[in-house]
Amino acid sequence: MAGLNCRVTVGLLGVLLLGAARLARGWETYKIALPHGSNITVLIKPGAPTLPANLCQIISKTQVTPLSIKAGETAVFSFSCQDPENHFVIEIQKNIDCMSGPCPFGEVHLQPSMSVLPTLNRTFIWDVKANKNIGLELQFSLPRLRQIGRGESCPDGVTHSISSRVDTKMVGIGTFCSNGTVSRIKMQEGVKMALALPWFHNRKVSGFSITNQLSIKRLCIIESVFEGEGSSTLMSANYPDGFPEDELMTWQFIIPAHLRASVSFLHFSVSNCVKKEERVEYCIPGSTTNPEVFKLKDKQPGNIAGNFNLSLQGCDQDAQNPGILRLQFQVLVQHPQNESNKTYVVDLSNEQAMSLTIEQRPSKLSRKFVPGCFVCLDSRTCSTNLTLTAGSKHKISFLCDDLTRLWINAEKTISCLDHRYCHRKSYSLQVPWYILQLPVQLHDFSWKLLVPKDSISLALVPAQKLQQHTHERVCNTSFSYLVASAVPGQDLYFGSFCSGGSIEQIQVKQNVSVTLRTFAPSFQQEASRQSLTVSFVPHFKEEGIFTVTLDTKSKVYLRTPNWDKGLPSLTSVSWNISVPQDQVACLTFLKERTGVVCQTGRAFMIIQEQRAHTEEIFSLEEEVLPKPSFRSHSFWVNISNCSPMSKKQLDLLFWVSLTPRTMDLTVIILAVVGGGTLLLFALGLIICFVKKNRKKKINKGPAVGIYNGNVNTQMPMQPKTFQKRRKDNESHVYAEIDDTMVYGHLLQDPKGSFLQPKVDTYRPFQGPTGDCPPSPPRICSRAPTAKLTKDEPSSGFLSESESEPYTFSYPNDRNISNGNTDPPLLETYETMEPGE
């Protein structure tokens, strides 16, 4: 408590002392005497117009506010309030005429003395007028100046506002704070310098001097000196307003020999020129083309060694629509890096419809100095980002202390314009070697695959089977494939996929974008694993078809596209899931109900066994999803969406796991019982048959052999001619009757020749089963089905005339004969020609 009371006492004492000081200041009398010929004017005026004037007033003989004191005058005054610094400001202006007499060059002093001035916010102004052919230079002592933009303030409250005179107009060169790189500013025809000091600042020197210079033949020259690594942001005159018409402004940069400088344009705009052209010019040491001329929209030079100049040249503007020329830029100086001496070749001369961008990663802003990270084209044109286009060979280098601050994004378009040419063609989607050899990590490489609408589709086949990224099984690889629709206006994201799964193929209906995205620098070592082949296949109706071959080691998690937003309206997706012969698949859904509410149409799920062709159809809107079920053979899962309400979208997650196939005990018992019964039945038949034959033999008695001498013992000879007549044999019976024999007279053309009939015959299906997903059921109306009346025949039965058998008759003028007595073979078919 004693310590607390002590602190309270000290606080109250401080308040009392501050109040006493303010009270003393409130009644303090000031006397300002300006000598004759000093060309100094002191003006005390209200500084906060929002405050009422009666709160604080100037007390003097004249009782005039504002109070003006000119050279040769003396003024005695005081304030009626205790805080005049909140109500008044003081301006001290000195006019220097260098046209009628010599200029007082040298260090500029603060006059009158700070000791005689009231403690108000003070502004010292020096207005120097000179001839057009005379150059004036402002030299600033340490610390040097730092330029700020309009609306910005200096940390210590001390600002330097510098303007130059052009004929009768004043042009703002800029506003500056302390602790910068600007050491000198050269101007011509005149200068106006304003130094603003807050009332609490005890500064006693101006901090600059004025010297004479020869004509600079331009608006101004600003010198910026770097002693080490750092950056400086500078602006054109009158920024952000327009640069004066047809003027020239120059910045001189002093760079230590062991450092390198780079220029970046932060903001700029151009005017409407009628004569000349707006441009920037560089004088760079060692350049054979000095001055190097650039447009404001061009990439600016970088990796500059030594001192250099940068000039901004205006033009003659359109009088009716002049536009605005303005420029804000940054110069960054840093140590050269090892990579700055290396040149990398990026050969895009053989590429088409491809672009490659090297840019900075997103990062948090820091108030500390951060060395720049630049990409240089041909070792001179440097910028924070660089885009390389197809059709050329590019040489690049890097000026960067940490190359992990950069990454690469590339995009390539593969188009199929004619489906007849593209059908069954394939392309390999691999990151080119010239990207992998760069010292910068690849972020994204996107392939945009475009096909004609409704005529051809796409199939993506990875070198290694893929796994779909889900919350239950996260991809932990160094890269993934992001597959999304590239159809304009279609928001369909199929998912993110990485290697190490069970998905063998992804088929997409229309245009698709495949993006390889890396997540770790180890991708450079694992780049050989990335390989995806795209082929053009016949068109199908589903938005996507996933071919899955199950793995016995782990579960396979699968989810519908657009997981976060829901499957798009009226979209159908299928999974073709293959089950090994010695395994049984267990299909499990994450939730019992989808919760989807359809606005129009119906949402269905179909599970179809590919061998038995049995289908299970579930209404996703009304029914409960099936419980875990076992599948002995490969099967399809098809999900077709309706047009759902906006609140609840359709999303499904399911997984499939494998277990070894085992024989059911009940099946084994039934098989054993059935086999035993069949065996006993067969034994019974054999016993009965044997007993019956034995009984017959007993009834016949013993067999007796008798010799007959009248019998001819020679083998009978085969007769030379066929003795039977046609009615006694079956040569006129046909295993097949050709229609041309029965209806041949109806197939003759006017010339008498026979026409071959075009008969459609049944051919058994010989292709593989299960290649096509099950078709979703038709959406029928919910009205009751109409019943058939008695007069309406059912479409499932033939009418009486249609049920009668066909009757064949032979033409009377045909004599059909055949003398072949061989029995017809079952696999042999003879076609009888007319007239035989």
> Is the confidence at residue 112, as pLDDT, over 60?
yes
Do residues 374 and 398 make contact, with C-beta atoms less than 8 angstroms apart?
yes
When mean pLDDT is compared across 178-182, 660-664, 814-818, the lowest value belongs to 814-818
- pLDDT of residue 776 exceeding 90, the answer is no
* Residue that terminates a domain, selected from 215, 242, 263: 215
Residue type at 808? F
Q: Is residue 437 part of a domain?
A: no
DSSP 502: S
Let me know if residue 613 belongs to a domain. yes
- What order of strands is seen across the sheet that includes strand 30-33? 30-33, 74-79, 58-60
Instruction: Render pLDDT for 183-219 as a digit per residue (tens, 0 to 9).
Output: 999 998 889 999 999 998 888 888 899 988 788 899 9
Mean pLDDT of the 808-835 span: 37
* Domain termination residue (choose one: 215, 248, 263): 215
Residue at which a domain ends, from 663, 685, 708: 663
pLDDT band at residue 444, thresholds of 50, 70 and 90? Answer: very high
Domain extent for 110: 28-215
Residue identified by tokens 């009615």 is 727
The C-alpha R_g of the chain, in whole angstroms, comes to 50
- pLDDT, tens digit, 9 for 90 and up, residues 14-44: 334 344 444 444 468 899 999 888 889 999 9
Mean pLDDT of 689-713: 50
In this predicted structure, what is the pLDDT of residue 832?
Answer: 41
- Reply yes or no on whether the pLDDT at 109 is more than 80: yes
Q: Has residue 556 got a pLDDT over 90?
A: yes
pLDDT tens readout for residues 644-663? 887 678 899 999 999 988 75
- Burial string for 631-658 (b: 16+ CB within 10 Å, else e) reads beebbbbbbbbbebeeeebbbbbbbbbb
Does residue 365 carry a pLDDT above 70?
no
pLDDT for 628 equals 92
At residue 123, what is the residue type? Answer: T
Which residues pair with residue 827 across a beta bridge? none
Q: Please give the distance of CA 610 from its chain centroid, rounded to a whole number.
A: 38
CA distances from 197 to 90, 155, 467 (A): 10, 12, 67
Residue 160 CA to residue 151 CA, distance in Å, equals 14
Q: What is the pLDDT of residues 222-254, one digit of tens each?
A: 999 999 989 999 999 999 999 999 999 999 999
Mean pLDDT of 67-81: 89
In a domain, 669, yes or no: no
pLDDT for the residue numbered 823 = 30
CA distance 833 to 161: 116
In this structure, is residue 719 part of a structural domain? no
Summarize the chain as % helix, strand, coil (round to 5): 10, 40, 50
Q: Looking at the predicted structure, is the pLDDT value of residue 273 above 80?
A: yes
Mean pLDDT of 415-431: 85
Token representation of residue 227: 């002693």
- 299 lies in some domain: no
Q: Residue 733: pLDDT band by 50, 70, 90 thresholds?
A: low
Length of the chain: 836
Residue 669: band (very low, low, confident or very high) from pLDDT cuts 50, 70, 90 = low
- Give pLDDT, residue 62: 74
- The whole-model pTM stands at 0.59
Number of domains the chain contains: 2
Q: Are 578 and 738 in contact (CB under 8 A)?
A: no
Residue at 788: amino acid letter: L
| Phi then psi dihedrals of residue 275, to 5 deg | -135, 150
**pLDDT surpasses 50 at 780:** no
Does 692 score more than 50 pLDDT? Answer: yes
CATH code for the domain in which residue 191 is found: 2.60.120.290
* Domain assignment of residue 127, yes or no: yes
Report which residue type is found at 749: D
Tokens of 274: 């009628």
DSSP-assigned states of every residue in 65-96? SSEEE-TT-EEEEEESSS-GGGTEEEEEEEEE
Q: Is 345 contained in some domain?
A: no
Averaged pLDDT of the chain: 79
Q: What percent of the chain has pLDDT over 90?
A: 40
Comparison of pLDDT for 394 and 213, the residue scoring more? 394
Whether 475 is in a domain gets the answer no
For the stretch 500-523, pLDDT in tens is: 899 999 999 999 999 999 988 888
More confident residue, 694 or 118: 118
Q: Is the pLDDT of residue 714 over 60?
A: no
pLDDT, tens digit (0-9, with 9 covering 90-100), for 278-318: 999 999 887 777 888 999 998 888 888 889 999 999 999 99
When mean pLDDT is compared over 598-602, 714-718, 811-815, the highest value belongs to 598-602
Determine the pLDDT at residue 795: 36
Helices marked H in 615-705:
665-700
Distance CA 410, CA 388 (A): 9
